[in-house]
Amino acid sequence: MELNFITRHIEITDRFRNYVTEKADKIEKLADRPLELDVTVSKHHGGKGLVGGDHVELKLVEAGPVLRAESDGEDKYAAFDLAMGRMMEQLRRARDKKKIHHNGHQKPLSIHEASADAFAQLDIVPATPEDLERVNTGEHAIIPSPAA
């Protein structure tokens, strides 16, 4: 995976480059086929001469959708960690979604199939649509009344 650094109004050190490189290894483990990771670091200037924090934006280009995460922090390390956490969460969600929906030739169970299997395991017969309609219209009591 290619790692690109883009800076605006700030210098980055070799220490920060090494830090980002180490953390980028985690992305390579979760992403399917990552092509490049763009790390944009910029300095925010507060109003009236006040010094602002740092802003980090991550953009991951892979085979599939482009993922973006950005964050502000007191320094570039804190901002990077927050953005990295957001990026990892996006990757986890995409991976889980792929596991559920694209697991080879298996298709996910429909709600009807899943509930029918669960009812069969508990030895319960689900209500028929006619029974549900009678309960809904009040023709049939939900709880049987006690015998008088």
- Coil, strand or helix: which one is 140? coil
Residues 6+ apart with CB under 8 A from 8: 40, 41, 42, 43
The whole-model pTM stands at 0.65
> DSSP readout, 93-128?
HHHHHHHHH-STT--PPPHHHHHHHHHHHHT-PPPP
Residues of each domain in the chain carrying CATH 3.30.160.100: 2-101
Which candidate, 20, 16, 9, 11, places its Cα nearest to that of 1? 20
Residue 14: pLDDT band by 50, 70, 90 thresholds?
very high
Residue percentage of the chain with pLDDT more than 90:
40
Alpha-carbon distance values, 50 to 60, 75, 80, 102 (Å): 32, 15, 22, 51
* 124-146 mean pLDDT: 74
CATH superfamily of 2-101: Ribosome hibernation promotion factor-like (3.30.160.100)
d(CA 34, CA 60): 7
pLDDT in tens, 38-86: 999 998 876 665 567 899 999 999 888 899 999 998 899 999 999 999 9
Tracing tokens 């990295």 back to the chain, one arrives at 84
Tracing tokens 């030739």 back to the chain, one arrives at 105
